[in-house]
Amino acid sequence: MTDTRSTLLEEAERLIRTRGYAGFSYADLSQAVGITKASIHHHFPTKETLVETALGRYRERYDLAFPEIEKAHSHAVDRIVAYGRLYLASVNEGTGCLCAALAAERDGISPKLADAVTLFFRDHLDWLERIVTEGRGSGEISERLDVAETARLILSSLSGALMVERLLGGARGFEQVLAALRKTLADR
């Protein structure tokens, strides 16, 4: 049985990932979950508190996914592709990245929320830089690629593909991006 707070967070995340921060209200959440706006305010006094909490849960899922990816895959490129498949799950759900949706509305969210989104992306870049460095050391990833630039390329490619392929090719289009990324990383 899911508690009301968790249901609210799940639905808020879905709404942000499909409509954006400005695209949903407590009225939308109330209708989707079937409780009053006053009940939502009991759990989350402000929309910012609600979104901060949803973002924290979103970050935790990735924080847990990184070691799982490393445990399941011994090669750097395979780890990067597995990371990309986390994005593919969103393509299949018809949603976007929570943090990309919030980043797109940077000027409409609080500085505290913007800082939390920035930290999310910095954590991803740090992890990707470590994986790229390991891949360069093992010879899986081309030595000609700069580590920091490559991490940004991976993150930007996957985030962009998530947005574009929701409209164009879906999972098939996203798989093409993953294949191109794999080829780029190993290209000598």
For the stretch 60-90, pLDDT in tens is: 999 999 999 999 999 999 999 999 999 888 8
pLDDT at 1: 42
Structure tokens at 21: 């921060």
pLDDT at 163: 87
pLDDT at 180: 94
pLDDT at 188: 57
Q: Angle CA(126)–CA(72)–CA(148) in degrees, nearest 5?
A: 20
Residues 6+ apart with CB under 8 A from 145: 132, 136, 185
Domain-wise residue ranges, the chain:
55-186
Q: What average pLDDT is seen over the chain?
A: 92
pLDDT at 2: 61
- Domain 55-186 is found in CATH 2.40.240.10: no
